[in-house]
Structure 1
Amino acid sequence: MESHAHYRPAVVIYSTIIDSLCKDQLLHQVLLLFAEMKRKLISPDVVTYTSIIQGMSTLERCKEAQELFSEMLRSNTTATIETYNILIDMYCKDGKVGEAWAIFESVATRGVVPDVVTFATLINGYCKEGMVYEARATFDCMVKIGLVPHDITYNVLLDGYCLHGQMLMVNHGCKPDLVTINTLINGYCKCKQFQKALYLFQEMCLEGLTPNVVAYNTLINALCKDNRDSLLSSAYQLLKEMIGQRLKPDVITWSSLLDGLCKNAQIDEAITLVEKWSTLEWSLILSDTISPLTRLV
C-alpha cells in the first residue's frame, strides 16, 4: 500500500485490511502490511495486534503468536480480554493447558477482567485433557466472581465429567436444553448406567423437550453395544418410537441395530432388518406381527 510522502493512512485503515486478510488466512500479506505500518511510523493498536494474533492462532503458529503478544505488551499497548481469550484458546487446543492457565493468571495482574468465554475456554481445555477436577474448580471460580455460566459452559463441563466416567449435574439456575440432556445421556451410556440414561430420556419427553436423532442414536448405539437381549429389545423399541415421532433413522441407527443383532447371533433378524431398511417399509418394521423381529420388542 503505497502513498504520497505527506499522507499516511490511519491505523484504522490498516487494521481493517489486516483483519480481513487474517480471516482469509493470508498471513504472509498480513506481515508485509504490518511491517509497512512500522516503516511509516504508524503505531499498531490493540485491534491490529489482536487480529494478527488470531490469524497466527488459526494457523497454529503458536510461537509467533506468543512473540507478537510479548511485542504488544512491550509497546505499552493494553491487551483486551479478547486478546487473552485467543491465546488461552490457542494453548488449550494445542493441549498446553499449563500455558493457558499462565495466560489466565496474567489477566488479573494486568487489570483485565475475565469473561464467560475465558472460563469456558479453560474448562473445555481441562476437560479435553481429562483434568475434570481443575475444570470444576475453574467453573466454581467463575460462579464465585459473579459470572453466569451459559449453556455452552454447562455442556462442556458435563461432557468432561461424562467422558471420564464421573457424572455431575450442576445447577445454578440454568434450565438444561436438548444439548445438555443429550450430553448427560451420552455420559450415562459411557458409564454403562443405561437405566439412568433411559430414565433421563423419558424425563426429557415429559418436560416437553422433543428428542432428536442424536438422542435416539446415542441410546440405541449404547444399548446395542452391551450385547444383552434385554437391552437390544429396548433399543428396538426406541427405533419404533423414533419412527413414530416421524424422525428418520440414519446410517448410525441402522448400523447400531445390525451390529447388536449380529453380535447376539441373531443373523436372521439382522437380514430381515436390512430388507426393511433397503425397501423403506416402515409400516412393516413397526408392525408387531412381523416374525422373527417381534420377539425383540
Structure 2
Amino acid sequence: MQSRGNCKPGIVIYNTIIDSLCKDRLLQQAINLFSAMKIEGIQPDVVTYTSLVRGFYNSGFREEAKDGLVVEAEAILRHMTDKGVAPDITVLYLMKGITPDVVTYNTLIDGLCKTNRLTLARELFTDMQAHGVTPDVFTYNSLLDCLCKSAQLDEAVALLEDMEDTGIKPDIVTYNILIDSLCKAGQLEDAANFFSNLVIKGLQPSFRTYNILVKGFCKKGLMNEATQLLSKMAKDDCFPNGITYNIIIGGYILSNDFTKALYYRDLMVSKGFEADADTFALFVDLLSSENLSDSSKGLLQKFIK
C-alpha cells in the first residue's frame, strides 16, 4: 500500500495491525509501527494507546506503560475532551494496576461530563475515592457543570456542600457554574445570594460572574437591577466589557426601551467596543416588525447608522 503512493494506510489500518501485534505480545513490532505511523503524519488516537497500554500491561511491563504510553495517552484524552469526544473507559481500567492519579480521573470524568454521560462520571468519581485518589476542585467543577446542564440543581447544591465538607475550597469557576444555572432557571434571588457571599468566602467576582448575573436580570426585564450591577462593576475595578454592554443593550431592546438601548450603544462605542451579531440582529428584527411605531423605527435606524 505504501509503495503505491496513492493508497496510503490510514489510522484504522495502523490500529488494526498494532492491536493484533499487542495481542500476540509482539510489543517491539507494535512500538516500531507506532513510531512509523507518527513519522507518516498519522496521529495516534485513543484506540492506538489503548492497544499499547493493554499490550504492556498484559505482558507484565507495567513500568514501561506507566513511564511512557500512559503519559501520552493522557495527552490524547485531554485532546479528545477538548474536542467534545468521550474518552474510551477501557483506558482507565487498563491503567488501574499502575495507579491512575487525579489527573487521569479528572481527564476521564471531564470528558464523560462534556458528553453528558453523568452516570458513568459519577461511578468514576466514587471509584477514584475508593482507590484513595482525592478529588480536587477541577473534579467537582466538571460534575457540577454536568449536573447544572442537566437541570439537576438540587444535586448540584448538594455536591457543593459535599465539596466544602471535605475541605475542598470552591473557586470562582464553581460559583460561576452555579450562578449561571440558577439564572437560567429563573432563580435570581438564589443566584444573587451566591453572588453576595463571594466576598465573604474570599473570592473576587470575575467579568464572567458579573455578566452572568447581568444577563439573568436582563432576561427577566429587571433593567434597574442590571444597571445597578453595571455600576458595581466599575466600583469593584472590574469594568464592563463589550459582552456586558451588549447584554444591557439587548435587555433594553427586549424591554422596548430603545432610547436607553441607544444610550448604552453610544456609551459602549465610546469605550472602544462594538455591537455583536446578536445585538445587531435584534435591531434588524425589530425594524422589520409591522407593529413598531414610526418613532421607534427612527430610533432603531440610528443604531444601524
Please indicate, yes or no, whether the TM-score normalized by the shorter chain is above 0.5.
yes
Q: Distance in 2 between matches of 1:141 and 1:149?
A: 11
> Residue type matched to 2:185 in 1?
C
Q: CA deviation at 1:238?
A: 0.8
- Aligned partner of 2:149: which letter? L
1:102-141 residue pairs with structure 2 within 5 A? 102-108=90-96, 111-141=97-127
The question of whether the paired residues in 2 share the 8 Å contact of 1:227 and 1:263 is answered with: no
C-alpha distance in structure 2 between counterparts of 1:276 and 1:211, whole Å = 23
Distance, in Å, in 2 between the alignment partners of 1:271 and 1:186 is 27
- Pick from 136, 154, 157: which aligns with 2:143? 157
Matched, 1:252 2:246: no
- On the 8 A contact 2:38/2:44 being kept in 1, the answer is no
Please name the residue that 1:205 is paired with.
Answer: 199
Q: Distance in 1 between matches of 2:71 and 2:179?
A: 34
Which of 119, 130, 134 does residue 144 from structure 1 map onto? 130
Q: What's the CA shift for 1:217? A: 0.9
Q: Equivalent residue for 1:166?
A: 152
Structure 1: how far apart are the matches of 2:101 and 2:184?
32
Distance, in Å, in 1 between the alignment partners of 2:48 and 2:105 is 24
Identity %: 27
Partner of 2:89: 101
Give the match for residue 183 of structure 1: 177
Equivalent pair of 1:53/1:69 in contact (CA under 8 Å): no
* Count of residues in correspondence between the two structures: 233
Query: What is the alpha-carbon distance in structure 2 between the residues aligned to residue 176 and residue 152 of structure 1?
Result: 9
**In the alignment, is the contact (CA less than 8 A) between 1:165 and 1:190 conserved in 2?**
no
3-state DSSP of counterpart to 2:205: coil
1:160 aligns to what SS in structure 2?
helix
Alpha-carbon deviation of 1:180?
A: 1.7
C-alpha displacement at 1:160, in angstroms?
1.4
Contact preservation (8 Å) 1:232, 1:260: yes
Query: Using a 3 Å threshold, how does the CA distance of structure 1 residues 198 and 190 change in structure 2: closer, same or farther?
Result: same
Tell me: CA distance 1:53–1:189, structure 2 relative to 1, closer, same or farther (3 Å): farther
The Cα offsets for residues 242-297 of structure 1, whole Å up to 9 and x where unpaired, read as: 011122211110000101100110101111222333335xxxxxxxxxxxxxxxxx
* Alignment of 1:262 onto 2:253: yes
In 2, are the aligned partners of 1:261 and 1:267 still within 8 Å (CA)? Answer: yes
Provide the residue aligned with 1:240 in structure 2: 231
- Which letter does structure 2 place at the counterpart of 1:160? C
For 1:58-77, what aligned pairs fall within 5 Å after superposition? 59=43, 61-66=45-50, 69=53, 77=61
TM-score by length of 1: 0.66
Give CA deviations for 1:101-123 in whole Å, capped at 9, x if unaligned. Answer: 12212223xx2111111211111
Structure 1 gaps, min length 5: 1-42, 281-297
Shift of 1:57: 12
TM-score (norm 2): 0.64
Deviates more, 1:115-124 or 1:269-278: 269-278
Does the CA-based 8 Å contact 1:62-1:90 persist in structure 2?
no
Where do residues 226-237 of structure 1 align in structure 2 (5 Å cutoff)? 226-228=219-221, 231-237=222-228
User: What's the C-alpha RMSD, in Å, of the aligned pairs?
Assistant: 3.7
Given the superposition, is the C-alpha separation of residues 138 and 251 from structure 1 closer, same or farther in structure 2, using an over 3 Å criterion? same
- 1:139: how far off? 1.3
Task: Assess if the C-alpha contact under 8 Å between 1:126 and 1:132 holds in 2.
Answer: yes
Judge conservation of contact 1:216–1:238 (CA < 8 Å) in 2: yes
On the 8 A contact 2:182/2:191 being kept in 1, the answer is: yes
Residue 206 of structure 1: CA displacement? 2.3
